[in-house]
Structure 1
Amino acid sequence: MPYPLTYRRPAYVDSDNGSRDSLSGDEKQKSIDESISSGSSCMSAGIPEALSFDRIISGGVCPPCTVRDFMNYLKYIEHSAENLQFFLWYRAYCAKWDALPQSERALAPIWTAEQAEAELAGNTAHSQPKQVNAHVAAALKDTDFADGAPKVTNDRADPFDTPEHSSVDEKRGPMSDYGSSYADEKTLASSYVAQSVASQAFDEAGMKWKPFTMQPYRDEMSRVISVYIAEGSSRELNLSARERRALLHALQNTTHPTAFRFIMTSVEYTLRKQSHPNFIRWTICNGNRPRVFFARGLGIFGIITGLLVDLLLTLSHASRPWRLIAFPAWFIGIATLIAAWKGMCVVLHGLHHRHLRPWELFADEPEDAINEKLVSQESLTSGSSNSFEDEPWVPRYKKRNILRKILDRQIWIEEPALRQIQDTIFLQALLASFVLSCVFVGIFCAVPRGKFY
């Protein structure tokens, strides 16, 4: 059943409107909490609850509104796929962290909100020193580090320092000097590169990268820094210099998920309040750009046809009822133009079809394999770039002529909520077209006959 005729599709949210930086972290978090707890707020923005951000992330929707489609939109249209990739990695990381034994989680202290705010405010010199965790002290009892070991303070003195890249060396067994499998060598090389990039990022921030190898997932932190945090990284997040420095200082001390506290608030706010509405607005369009422009041309042609027919009949000796002949041309032209103005082709909508996207037309891998790769933990922390200019489909799609693009392959729209939105827009176009057609035809009927021929 369509939504109310007063429905309005989501408004486009400009990424350059400055709203991301104008709000504080608490205001962003409050807005996120409100969007999670209130389904009506989504509908008021033109997004039904069935297509909410949480439903999409949890996999509760059908194509073309899945996480894979959302990722493709961010990569190929909005060019900000790193936000969703980092968000998915963080969710998976929190789940892994919660599954750890308490003894391992205790090795990495929580990074409190007060510490994060102090870092962002630049007041680290006045913050109180952090003492060695009690569980860590118990684990190091009767060792060289037990008595008189320096405290872990904000001047970055660390009693548990290990030589640079020692976390890589620990993975090498006694036979590593004589050879290892290709997969192991590739893993070690990747880890070495990640730690090198992470070390460089800390050097640029005026800090020393001293990995605390007893803390869980320290190697993964190196990869995350090299992929998302370091300047010039392959999937660099949009962070200010102050935010980057505060995050690096947090990761220097702990691998607890709370180290990403303020970064995740900004990333999630951008996804929920900007990328998600724009994605739903873009998904409502069932045709590609050439098809939509072609539909607009047909709508204008229908309107011009109705105008000429009414104009000729008015200037002739024909009686006024003959002027109603132009009503179908007015009606079809206006309805087609209104629907096309909102990105919809009425012919495709009649079949509840949509055009395949350019990157879908030439996909060589099975859909299940692509879905698994998009959200796999390895792909989210790999160093691959989000750039797509070198992908094979780009030159192949450019070579297609305009007629072939207009008649591109179609596919059934599986998501019921999206079909309901399109039905509503189509009904709105029909209703507006009927009213306007009656007005225009009525104006011509009110004009006396010209009797010119």
Structure 2
Amino acid sequence: MGLLPLNYRRPNYVNGEELRRNETGTEVDEKIDASLKSGRSGVSPGIPGALAFDKIINGGTCPPCTVRDFMNYLIYIEHAAENLQFYLWYRDYVRRFSAAPVSETTLSPEWTQEMEEETIATIQRDAADQAKKHSPIAREIFRGTDFEKISGIPVESQNPFSTPPRSSAGDSVSFSGSQATTYVSQAGDAFVAAGAKQPFTIQPFRSEINRVIATYIIDDSPRQLNLSAREQKAVVRALSYTTHPSALLTLSQNIENTLRRQAHPNFIRWTICNGNPARVTFARGLGVGTLLVAMIGSIILTLSKAGRGWRALFAILWVVGIATLITAAKGMCVVLHGLHHRHVRPWELFLDDSDAGIEQLCEGNRSFDSFGSCNNYEDEPWIVRYQRRFYVRKVFDREVWIQEPALRQIQDTIFLQSMLFAVLGAGVLTAVFVAVPAGNLF
């Protein structure tokens, strides 16, 4: 594969707060559709088509850019693996529901957009009514908001893109795991707390939907999704009506939007780094040391009686030092890049035939279970073993070859960019020292 354009920039880091904007389901759907048509993430120009979100999810990439690597990143780095776990389950659920007999699926009618909007409006109205009952100054609190329009208070102007206030803590669908012993009873408590009717148990996949509610929706669930109180209630009410995939459509679109626009660019940005933090810090120190040697040597030769041509020899050190610093700033080590290697991740480092390695491998496989335990890794044996590892040993940790061609292409481009900047900078610095008259001090 050739190089990317020289003006290439790696994906920018996407902050979750920046992503949480008031987007309607249609806007999210349009962004996802544009992403699917382009074959790219649709967000960052720093992600080539070969590393698009759909390529990774569908198994079209090689290590370290596979869906398993993506899952490990979400577990150990971003701490949001429940989004990908839910997304993978929902894709499979849509396929299985579509393949079910029509005689069964007719028992679960579609949850329409009108029903969704009506449910949300009801939840907002109930929240406003409850707030009015508990607060004597509610009229002032809700002045200028959507709740003011609902409660009959005149509004001079309404912003259709404003975000309604979140419900109070008392309005959320809240229950702890100790209040129910099984996912069936937990789901039943969820329907009661959300003010929904108990569903028909004869609907197809009703047992599985109950497990979804107990695993992803309710408070203190093992893999609780990041939902507001209003979203939580709306989903539970939709699921009490039907097990049709459309009941989870809005939620799945929001989750997919987060994965595509935040988790995926951040994963690619993180994967570009071929060295662990210890190695990158070491590379930065090496770059600074090389530049200091070049600086001191150039100054000494300038002050001496040596010919000006000798000062130009330090251009080599200038190039090496500047290139090392630039690549280290992007999480890369030039030595590892020369071999197209990367450091083994800490959670991969101790995967061997020992009992600890086998146990960790089994834990990794369970991360793809739709209804597994919480994504907690603090008790995994590799953490203590890696913390006890000496710093020098971390710098020279085990390396593996980078199999993904598109990732090597990105790293080659970044390395070439750093070399070009280094040559330019070294040329300027060398010209300055060569132009200075000799000091003839010794």
TM-score, with normalisation over the residues of structure 1?
0.81
Report the Cα distance in structure 1 between the residues aligned to 2:42 and 2:21, rounded to whole angstroms: 23
Superposition map of 1:254-265 within 5 A:
254-265=242-253
Report the Cα distance in structure 1 between the residues aligned to 2:271 and 2:69, rounded to whole angstroms: 9
Q: Who is 2:384 aligned against?
A: 395
Cα RMSD, aligned residues only: 2.1
The alpha carbon displacement at 1:119 in A equals 1.8
Q: Greater CA deviation, 54-63 or 25-34?
A: 25-34
Q: Who is 1:409 aligned against?
A: 398
Report the Cα distance in structure 2 between the residues aligned to 1:43 and 1:225, rounded to whole angstroms: 31
Report the Cα distance in structure 2 between the residues aligned to 1:28 and 1:443, rounded to whole angstroms: 54
Among 269, 287, 296, the residue aligned to 1:308: 296
Whether 2:353 is the aligned partner of 1:352: answer: no
Amino acid at match of 1:420: Q
Amino acid at match of 2:370: L
Q: 8 Å contact 1:111–1:258 — kept in the other structure?
A: yes
Q: 8 Å contact 2:50–2:61 — kept in the other structure?
A: yes
Amino acid at match of 2:95: A
Tell me, which stretches of 5 or more residues in structure 2 are unaligned?
127-179, 352-356
Q: Who is 1:106 aligned against?
A: 106
Report the Cα distance in structure 1 between the residues aligned to 2:348 and 2:316, rounded to whole angstroms: 37
Q: Who is 1:238 aligned against?
A: 226
Q: Who is 2:167 aligned against?
A: none
Report the Cα distance in structure 1 between the residues aligned to 2:289 and 2:307, rounded to whole angstroms: 25
Tell me, which stretches of 5 or more residues in structure 1 are unaligned?
127-190
Among 264, 274, 278, the residue aligned to 1:290: 278
Report the Cα distance in structure 2 between the residues aligned to 1:16 and 1:43, rounded to whole angstroms: 16
Report the Cα distance in structure 2 between the residues aligned to 1:21 and 1:233, rounded to whole angstroms: 25
Q: 8 Å contact 2:12–2:44 — kept in the other structure?
A: no
Note the alpha carbon deviations across 1:60-93, whole angstroms, 9 max, x for none.
Answer: 0000001100000001000000000000000010
Report the Cα distance in structure 2 between the residues aligned to 1:368 and 1:401, rounded to whole angstroms: 24
Amino acid at match of 2:426: S
Note the alpha carbon deviations across 1:140-199, whole angstroms, 9 max, x for none.
Answer: xxxxxxxxxxxxxxxxxxxxxxxxxxxxxxxxxxxxxxxxxxxxxxxxxxx961112212
Report the Cα distance in structure 2 between the residues aligned to 1:41 and 1:286, rounded to whole angstroms: 22
Note the alpha carbon deviations across 1:269-290, whole angstroms, 9 max, x for none.
Answer: 0000000000000000001000
Q: Greater CA deviation, 307-316 or 24-33?
A: 24-33
The alpha carbon displacement at 1:291 in A equals 0.5
Q: Who is 1:11 aligned against?
A: 12
Amino acid at match of 2:14: V
The alpha carbon displacement at 1:5 in A equals 1.1
Report the Cα distance in structure 1 between the residues aligned to 2:225 and 2:39, rounded to whole angstroms: 29
SS class of match (2:65):
coil
Report the Cα distance in structure 1 between the residues aligned to 2:15 and 2:44, rounded to whole angstroms: 19
The alpha carbon displacement at 1:367 in A equals 10
Q: Aligned residue pairs: how many? A: 383
Q: 8 Å contact 1:43–1:49 — kept in the other structure?
A: no
Q: Who is 1:88 aligned against?
A: 88
Whether 2:322 is the aligned partner of 1:334: answer: yes
The alpha carbon displacement at 1:4 in A equals 1.3
Q: Who is 1:74 aligned against?
A: 74
Q: Who is 1:65 aligned against?
A: 65
Amino acid at match of 2:371: T
Q: Who is 1:380 aligned against?
A: 370
Q: CA, structure 1 residues 257+2, in 2 after alignment: closer, same or farther (shift >3 Å)? A: same
Q: Who is 1:446 aligned against?
A: 435
Q: Who is 1:427 aligned against?
A: 416
SS class of match (2:62):
coil
Among 279, 283, 286, the residue aligned to 2:267: 279
SS class of match (2:210):
helix
Q: 8 Å contact 1:111–1:250 — kept in the other structure?
A: yes
Percent identity between matched residues is 53
Amino acid at match of 2:92: A
Report the Cα distance in structure 2 between the residues aligned to 1:338 and 1:124, rounded to whole angstroms: 52
Among 188, 194, 199, the residue aligned to 2:188: 199
Amino acid at match of 1:381: F
Report the Cα distance in structure 1 between the residues aligned to 2:27 and 2:43, rounded to whole angstroms: 21
The alpha carbon displacement at 1:233 in A equals 0.7
Superposition map of 1:164-203 within 5 A:
193-203=182-192
Whether 2:204 is the aligned partner of 1:216: answer: yes
Q: Who is 1:154 aligned against?
A: none
SS class of match (1:354):
strand
Report the Cα distance in structure 1 between the residues aligned to 2:404 and 2:45, rounded to whole angstroms: 19
The alpha carbon displacement at 1:368 in A equals 9.0
Report the Cα distance in structure 1 between the residues aligned to 2:90 and 2:349, rounded to whole angstroms: 31
Report the Cα distance in structure 1 between the residues aligned to 2:437 and 2:407, rounded to whole angstroms: 47
Report the Cα distance in structure 2 between the residues aligned to 1:371 and 1:79, rounded to whole angstroms: 14
Note the alpha carbon deviations across 1:299-323, whole angstroms, 9 max, x for none.
Answer: 1111111111111111111121111
Amino acid at match of 2:296: L
Q: 8 Å contact 1:89–1:381 — kept in the other structure?
A: no
Q: CA, structure 1 residues 42+266, in 2 after alignment: closer, same or farther (shift >3 Å)? A: closer
Report the Cα distance in structure 2 between the residues aligned to 1:243 and 1:41, rounded to whole angstroms: 26
Note the alpha carbon deviations across 1:8-46, whole angstroms, 9 max, x for none.
Answer: 1000001122x3232222211111111111246759520
Q: CA, structure 1 residues 41+194, in 2 after alignment: closer, same or farther (shift >3 Å)? A: closer
Superposition map of 1:244-255 within 5 A:
244-255=232-243
Q: 8 Å contact 2:43–2:261 — kept in the other structure?
A: no
Note the alpha carbon deviations across 1:211-250, whole angstroms, 9 max, x for none.
Answer: 4121111010111001100011111000010000000000
Q: CA, structure 1 residues 322+89, in 2 after alignment: closer, same or farther (shift >3 Å)? A: same
Amino acid at match of 2:79: H
The alpha carbon displacement at 1:446 in A equals 1.3
Whether 2:344 is the aligned partner of 1:343: answer: no
